[in-house]
Chains A and B, each alone.
Chain A
Amino acid sequence: MAISLIPSNRKMKGQKVSTEGDNKVVRGSILVKRGFAHMQKHGVIMDVTNVEQAQIAEEAGAVAVMVLDKLPYDVRKAGGVARTAGVRTIEEIMNAVSIPIMAKCRIGHYSEAKMLETCAVDMIDESEVLTPADEENHIWKWEFTTPFVNGAKNLGEALRRIEEGASMIRTKGEPGTGNVAEAVNHIRKLNKEIRLLRAAYLDNDYQEIIKLARDYMVSMEVALEVGKLGRLPIVNFAAGGITTPADASFLMKLGCDGVFVGSGIFKSEDPSLRAKAVVLATTFYDNEKEVLEAQKMVDEKKSLIGLDTKNLELRMQERGPSV
């Protein structure tokens, strides 16, 4: 099997089948949606708020840009309600760069997401960086032709989002803090939990697998798939607090498939060099010399001054539905 298509028994309203000429054409299938996420692997996706930043990101080697109204750091400062980016800004960026465009919608906000799909963004991030619109429910993502990425702090969250139709997962971390510690926590937790399932699978201990599945509040089917693969069935990126090239290299070493950088780049005082340096450190994450060279490109005095994640007024990772 080329890529995992689990769970396999969902009604997928977002999958559109048509006949064009002699060809039967399928859009929005699991394969096409997850395949898109696979094309982002080993790359860096950068948060941007305008055309100029999107062009800097593209030139620096970003695989995609994520359009927001405010960078997470500014969301914290501004307070109030953070919503999806302006449609005009998104369209301007679409016309200015050739790489994929992603945009964030509020957790549970079906109409914001549908609007982004109609606007033709390439991927939608149902994100805790924005103020959740529904405290009980995430979006049922199988109804969309456009793929979704969702945040997760642990294996249970990741698998529940996959059951709802997410095509890609990222760690939540603690966005806008310039502090990578929470992203590290989340990927370590995820890895540890995957190891438990993998061990149970290798021992053929189905009783243990179903128990873990119940703990994580997910189906036996996805739990078994994780046991079989020894990893998440879909692409998993690092996000939340990545600021330096070394941060990116570290998260890649912990097993992430790629990296999202939010405030880290455009809230620093050396954005274009830093953007390129983070790309280099992600590509060559396991080559110490290259990571050093990348780190030399940035000036620590110009880094986003970080925040202590323990004493924050707003813990973005805690927002949204608990299940």
Chain B
Amino acid sequence: MNPILKVGILSIQGDIEENSNAIKESFEELEIEGTVIYMKDLHDLDEIDGLIIPGGESTVIGMLLFLQGVQPDLIRKKIQEGLPILGTCAGLILLSNKAYDKTIGETKQALLKVLDVTIERNAFGRQHESFESELDIPYLGERRFNGVFIRGPAITEIGNNVEIIAEYDKKIVAVRQNNILGTSFHPELANDNRFHINLVKLMAEYNRSKKRK
């Protein structure tokens, strides 16, 4: 019998339910049994096969997450063991090493620092500049992907082991660092679940590797 895959969604603030819908649809499409666990903190990473950090306000999610205590070493260990993570928009910012903002400089916000990138927040401007545009993302296949950017960040620097998976207007907007996926845009709003489907595939692999141990 196949195992039931468990995906944790960090459920402090933001578009939690939208990510939940996208991942549930992905389970169905792949005919894999899976369940969603809503997590307010990151203490129990043993029980999950994958983690989603949703869109929202990164300052708010970060503050409330760190208020409950975060053990970065534990998270890093899980990531090294292969725990797959998808961070969208605010989620990408939280995973990053460093974040800054054009108007107020380096934001003194709490970050997990597990993804080796530097982020410029609100890189495309305020809400009236927010947009959708079809992106070429070879990682997902030939069909273009509708990138929904809402006060979106951009990635300005990447480490050696970070792979660029999408660019828009010469800015990096999606990256992969082994089992971590980060996007400036919101795949959960795109009505196209290919990012979430890839996460499920990574989760299945991780689950199998856990079993072998």
CB of A98 within 8 A of CB of B104, answer: yes
CB of A2 within 8 A of CB of B189, answer: yes
Interface-located stretch among B28-36, B121-129, B174-182? B121-129
CB of B127 within 8 A of CB of A122, answer: yes
| Distance, CA A279 to CA B90, complexed state (A) | 18
A21-B169, A283-B40 given; A2·B22 CB < 8 A: yes
| CB-CB contacts below 8 Å: B49-102 with A | 55-57, 59-60, 63-64, 89-90, 101
Interface-located stretch among A27-35, A129-137, A260-268? A27-35
- Tell me the count of chain A residues lying within 8 A, CB to CB, of chain B: 46
- Tell me the count of chain B residues lying within 8 A, CB to CB, of chain A: 47
Nearest-neighbor residue (CB-CB) of A95 within chain B: B103
| Distance, CA A100 to CA B121, complexed state (A) | 12
Contacts of B186 in A (CB 8 A): 35
Cβ-defined partner of A100 (8 Å) among B101, B127, B168: B127
| Distance, CA A285 to CA B59, complexed state (A) | 20
CB of A146 within 8 A of CB of B13, answer: no
B156 within 8 A of A: no
List chain B positions with a Cβ less than 8 A from chain A: 11-18, 21-22, 40, 55-57, 59-60, 63-64, 89-90, 101, 103-104, 107, 121-122, 125-134, 148-151, 168-169, 186, 188-191
- Shortest 9 CB-CB contacts between residues of A and residues of B: A122-B127, A63-B57, A42-B13, A38-B15, A2-B191, A27-B131, A25-B133, A2-B189, A23-B133
Q: Could you jot down 18 A-B contacts, CB within 8 Å?
A: A3-B189, A21-B169, A23-B169, A26-B133, A32-B131, A32-B148, A32-B150, A39-B14, A39-B89, A39-B90, A41-B15, A42-B14, A63-B60, A98-B59, A99-B57, A100-B151, A120-B127, A121-B127
